[in-house]
Amino acid sequence: MAELTIPSLTLHDGVEIPQLGFGVFQIPPEDTEGVVAQALDIGYRHIDTAGAYRNEKGVGAAIAGSGLAREEFFVTTKLWNSQQGFDSTLAAFEASLGRLGFEYVDLYLIHWPVPSEDRFVDTWRAFERIHEEGRARTIGVSNFRVEDLERLEVETSTRPTVNQIELHPRLQQSELRGWHADHGILTEAWSPLAQGELLDDETIVAIAERHGKTPAQAVLRWHLQLGNVVFPKSVTPERIRENIELFDFELSDAEMAEFERLDRGERIGPDPGTFVSP
């Protein structure tokens, strides 16, 4: 396997997380083991999946087949909206562990807050139990707004270590990132490439050309320099490799400022304030 050093960041509970990983949203279950095995071979050690992606089994199989110890990997999975609630969370977590074939996950996330159903506080109490039992090394949330994070702050005793949110040059989330920074919460950026939609942006193309890199690499490098954790998704071997080759160049302050000006506040995914279980 390739030797590649990916920097790690330290969460507020001391757990270390590789800053770059591999996302498997929309990878068909039957293809997942093969695609993840390729990513592991290229050097990825951090995988982001979810119960809702229906491909946890393939992720677990690829890791089991890697020949490396489970401790070499950082695996995140997520609790789906319809399974929120104390007892249903414990049962859903058990099912995820079973599909992964693991004794623990590295990071367990509440996938969406679903504020209209008002169950995320009870759900978080089940997360605290799972964490105390050592079956999730660390626990966090996804798609939470400041007001949702504030409720956890007031009503529970454990602060999430990460919030995984939609974040890319068209939706830079500076207010939420600032709140995270003030509260020691790490920002994970989902759809870091805006699902490929902004890779022909002329500013991004020009910055990439200046460094002899591709637009995808320039965008991912921008995330890393902001301090975000990213896990771009691809099923194409050349792109999977390209998306990890980010550690031999650096964007200048002026280039970071050029990126900052691309913010439009535009989502490609659902609004966390209104998104409910399908």
Write out the catalytic residue numbers.
Answer: 53
Under the criterion CB under 6 A, does residue 187 sit at the interface with ligand NAD? no
162-166: strand order across its sheet: 22-23, 46-48, 74-79, 105-110, 136-142, 162-166, 186-190, 229-230
Contacts of 94 (CB under 8 A, 6+ apart): none
Q: Is 164 exposed, middle or buried (0-12, 13-18, 19+ CB in 10 A)?
A: buried
CB of 194 to ligand NAD, least distance (A): 6
Query: Residue 190 interacts with ligand NAD (CB under 6 A)?
Result: yes
**Binding residues for ligand NAD restricted to 194-213, rule: CB under 6 A:** 194-196, 199
Give yes or no for residue 221 binding ligand NAD (CB under 6 A).
no
Minimum distance, C-beta of residue 185 to ligand NAD, in the bound complex (Å)? 15
We find the least distance from the C-beta atom of residue 50 to ligand NAD, in angstroms, to be: 7
Measured CA to CA, the distance from residue 172 to residue 37 in angstroms comes to 32
Q: Which of 38, 243, 251, 255 binds ligand NAD (CB under 6 A)?
A: 243
Candidates 61-69, 92-100, 200-208, 227-235: pick the segment binding ligand NAD (CB under 6 A): 227-235
| Residue whose entry in the numeric block shows the structure tokens 């989330």 | 173
Contact segment (CB under 6 A) with ligand NAD among 10-18, 21-29, 57-65, 92-100 equals: 21-29
Q: Does 19 bind ligand NAD (CB under 6 A)?
A: no
Q: Which residues from 64-83 bind ligand NAD, rule CB under 6 A?
A: none
- Quick one: which of 261, 186, 258, 190 has its CA closest to 227? 186
The answer to whether residues 120 and 273 touch, using CB atoms and an 8 Å cutoff, is no
Work out how close the CB of 163 gets to ligand NAD at its nearest, in angstroms, rounded to a whole number: 10
SS3 category, 56: helix
Stretch that binds ligand NAD, among 82-90, 126-134, 239-247, 248-256 (CB under 6 A): 239-247
Among 143, 163, 172, 228, binds ligand NAD (CB under 6 A): 143
Q: With contact defined as beta carbons under 8 Å apart, do 55 and 25 qualify?
A: no
102 or 215: whose CB is closer to ligand NAD?
215
d(CA 135, CA 158): 16
Residue 110 makes contact with ligand NAD by CB under 6 A: no
Q: Which of 233, 199, 193, 236 is nearest to 215 (CA)?
A: 199
Identity of residue 88:
S
Half-sphere exposure in the Cβ direction for 249 (13 Å, CA): 20
- CB of residue 95 vs ligand NAD: minimum separation in angstroms? 19
Residues that bind ligand NAD (CB under 6 A): 23-25, 48, 111, 142-143, 164, 190-196, 199, 214, 216, 231-234, 239, 242-243, 269
